[in-house]
Amino acid sequence: MDFRDIKEFIKDTFSYLIVILIVILIVVYVVTLQQVVGSSMNPTYNESDILVLSKIHYKLFEINRNDVVSLKYDNSKYLIKRVIGLPGEHVYFKDNILYINNEPYENNFETADFNLNELGYDVIPDNMYLVLGDNRYNSLDSREIGLISKEDIIGKVLFRIWPLG
């Protein structure tokens, strides 16, 4: 074997290792895939849909109302939910109308009456969020598990990649 062949092999191997390292860093810190489990986000997302998640988005931008986010729950589960209430807001639902700070806000999903006071809060504390599933009558969300801290939000759902269409 020629020394030039060994040098070329090492060079090629190093290039592949760099590409693999970059892909791993992107998956760990920038974007990842997540599968929807359950029906709590119907009709927006369905069971077994595969979503692309931006892990870096909320390091650069604020969390906004109606963002669909992935969050850690119970240290072993990951949930997909929609952000409804932001820090400093008083949120409640009455007769299928969402009220934020006593002003009606457009809401496209049926929701049973709910008041933030039921969770023991008058307003949402700093770095906490009220999140709900789109299928409000069949969703494990803030109404049951409480407000979600910013640190428990993994990232923003960017789009669905499976099924196609």
d(CA 162, CA 30): 20
39 tagged catalytic: no
Question: Does 81 participate in catalysis according to the annotation?
Answer: yes
**What pLDDT shows up at residue 99?**
96
| Confidence band, pLDDT 50/70/90 cuts, at residue 43 | very high
Burial of residue 80, with CB atoms counted within 10 A of its CB: 0-12 exposed, 13-18 middle, 19 or more buried: buried
* pLDDT band of 27, cuts 50, 70, 90: confident
Catalytic residue among 70, 81, 142, 156: 81
Mean pLDDT taken over the chain: 92
Answer whether 80's CB lies under 8 Å from 56's CB.
no
Which pLDDT value is given to residue 3? 76
Confidence of residue 7 (pLDDT cuts 50, 70, 90): confident
Give the active site residue among 40, 54, 139, 142. Answer: 40
> Does the pLDDT at position 150 exceed 80?
yes
Q: Could you give the 3-state DSSP secondary structure of residue 125? A: coil
Strand partners, 32: 53
pLDDT at 96 over 70: yes
Q: Is the dihedral of CA 80, 36, 151, 26 positive or negative?
A: negative
